[in-house]
Amino acid sequence: MAGVVAAEIPHDNVVLVGDAAHTAHFSIGSGTKLAMEDGIALVDAFRRLGTDDVPAALAAYQEDRYVDVLKLQKAAQTSLEWFENSARYSGQDPVPFSFNLMTRSKRITYDNLALRDPELVRRATEHFAAKSGTPRAAGGAVPPPVFAPFRLRELELANRIVVSPMCQYSAVEGTVNDWHLVHLGSRAIGGAGLVMTEMTDVSAAGRITPGCAGMYAEEHVEAWRRIVDFVHANSRSRIGLQIAHAGRKGSCSHPWEGDDAPLVQGAWPLLAPSAIPFRAQWPVPRAMRREDMAEVTRQFAASTEMALRAGFDLVELHMAHGYLLSSFISPLSNRRDDEFGGTLENRMRFPLQVLDAVRRIWPEHLPVTVRISATDWLGEAGLTGGDAVEIARLLAARGCDAVDVSSAGNVPESQPDYGRMYQVPFAERIKYEVGVPVMAVGAILGVDHANTILAAGRADLCCMARPHLADAYLTLHAAERYGYREQYWPGQYLLGRSKPGE
């Protein structure tokens, strides 16, 4: 694929348009559109700036088109990759396959496609509802995919929307408080099927910052129970605890007090697979010995037992973003030469021991999920999407019920290719190649994106973090927008729901 335009263009009174300036893979068939839009932008630039200063008008045209062309080229690349992997979809039923094909570049979404081809979206919605056992709404309407229930072991989630874990850095000595009650409580009232807590640490030394939440002392159980009870009493949301150890990324200041810099006062020693700091200037962690591994495993087990007593519905093990378990998995942070380093199987040994310990305590009828970093975004040097498939396979074989697929965080050099729904391809690959349920996350910018992912069969649950910061009531808003009357509204808020036909 050609670059947008050479740096020396525009030059004097010369500028390029159309194919001469850029190309995009033909699978999205946009060459004509791009060329015509270039022409329109060029005329607009002259209309705006006049013809006295031709280079200025050409520069304005160039600037105008640059980002749009890049976006389209990215969509073309995504579409190209879809075709490269299309064998994966050969078993898909014709209706979701067609929906999948039409939304392959991620530029066309559920809502957008409903304008272009309402019949296809209606049939894809019907198909998804039938397959997922979604009850028809009163009057026979079929709810959009996000409102389909989902079952993990015996846990029933009312819908497919998940409040992604979000550190709040507001606990005191690990104890959560009113902030967490309001934060998590309002997102449960907001209607998400599953509300995940922030990364909650299994020991004081396993915290990222002094404000991180913990589950390692009796007072933590009580504080969490208050929140869990509120969620259960006042919403239909289920609530999961994400448990973690920060490893070599621990002992930092609150992010809004200096961008995750290591603590100067009150710092604590760090543990990691190898004695390599996260950043060159950061404190060097201690390479874990067998006794350290046994102790951390015991801490994860103890936190799990506490989570059970606090009434949580689900436990998620945090094996992503460069924290302790994640740093064992990535070859960039694990340089051990014993049986816990080297091959992927060896690097997974300690994380799997922890999963086993958690699964032994967590009841058979309740689910355990695991968040992973599917790739280090550094090519073959780090974790790749292929490794993620093997990781997921190992996790599923040991009782992980769904893999929550994130990426990066192990090393600061990672170069994520950000964009809408950018981590979904990793989740989708795991879903198809391992057959374990997957939770997608990362720039899923609202319910339209979530519906697109679900109807195309790319993931089972959609986690949203930042969209839930701006809108605690995201699911209620979506229910209103799609006319889904069966969404649970707490009695106190019922008058806020529109009346039929309003």
Ligand X SMILES: Cc1cc2nc3c(=O)[nH]c(=O)nc-3n(C[C@H](O)[C@H](O)[C@H](O)COP(=O)(O)O)c2cc1C
Ligand Y SMILES: Cc1cc2nc3c(=O)[nH]c(=O)nc-3n(C[C@H](O)[C@H](O)[C@H](O)COP(=O)(O)OP(=O)(O)OC[C@H]3O[C@@H](n4cnc5c(N)ncnc54)[C@H](O)[C@@H]3O)c2cc1C
Enzyme catalytic residues: 323
Residue 16 beta carbon to ligand Y: minimum distance, rounded to whole angstroms? 9
Contact status: 27 vs ligand Y (CB under 6 A): no
Pairing type for strands 402-406 and 314-319 reads unpaired
Report which of 200, 192, 133 is spatially closest to residue 160, judged by C-alpha positions. Answer: 192
Residue 233 CB, nearest approach to ligand X (Å): 25
Inter-residue contact 125 to 455 (CB < 8 Å): yes
| Torsion angle in degrees (nearest 10) through CA of 286, 290, 293, 298 | -140
Is 242 near ligand X (CB under 6 A)? yes
Sketch the per residue contact string, 260 through 299, with ligand X: x for CB under 6 A, - otherwise: ----------------------------------------
Q: Which stretch binds ligand X (CB under 6 A): 39-47, 313-321, 324-332, 359-367?
A: 313-321
Q: Identify the bridge partners of residue 369 per DSSP, sorted by sequence position.
A: 316, 402
Residue whose tokens read 């032994």? 360
Distance CA 183, CA 205 (A): 25
The CA–CA distances, whole Å, from 324 to 44, 157, 201, 400, 435 equal 54, 29, 11, 18, 27
CB of 28 to ligand Y, least distance (A): 9
Q: How far apart are the two ends of the chain, measured CA to CA in Å?
A: 49
Kindly determine how many residues on this chain lie close enough to bind ligand Y according to the rule CB under 6 A.
Answer: 9
Contact 370, 325 (CB under 8 A): no
The one of ligand X, ligand Y, none whose footprint includes residue 166, by CB under 5 to 8 A per kind, is: ligand X
Decide if residue 14 touches ligand Y (CB under 6 A): no
- DSSP line for 176-219: --HHHHHHHHHHHHTT-SEEEEEEEESSGGG-SSTT-EE-SSHH
Which window, 71-79, 171-179, 291-299, 442-450, contacts ligand X (CB under 6 A)? 442-450
In terms of DSSP bridges, do strands 194-201 and 438-441 run parallel, antiparallel, or are they unpaired?
unpaired
Contact 271, 186 (CB under 8 A): no
From residue 30 to residue 59, what is the string marking binding to ligand Y with x (rule CB under 6 A)? xxxx-x------------------------
Which one among 430, 441, 462, 472 touches ligand X, defined by CB under 6 A? 441
Under rule CB under 6 A, residue 166 binds ligand X: yes
**Number of residues forming the site for ligand X (CB under 6 A):** 20
How many other CB atoms sit within 10 Å of the CB of residue 476? 22
Distance in angstroms (rounded) separating the CA atoms of residues 264 and 304: 31
- Report whether 189 contacts 472 (CB < 8 A): yes
| 409 contacts ligand X (rule: CB under 6 A) | no
Considering only residues 1, 6, 29, 345, which one is a binding residue for ligand Y as defined by CB under 6 A? 29
Which residue, 18 or 385, is less far from ligand Y as judged by CB?
18
Q: Residue 102: which of ligand X, ligand Y, none does it interact with, CB under 5 to 8 A by kind?
A: none
What minimum distance in Å lies between the beta carbon of 21 and ligand Y?
8
- Residues in contact with ligand X by CB under 6 A are 164-167, 198-199, 242, 318, 320-321, 371, 406, 441-444, 464-467
- Residues in contact with ligand Y by CB under 6 A are 18-20, 29-33, 35
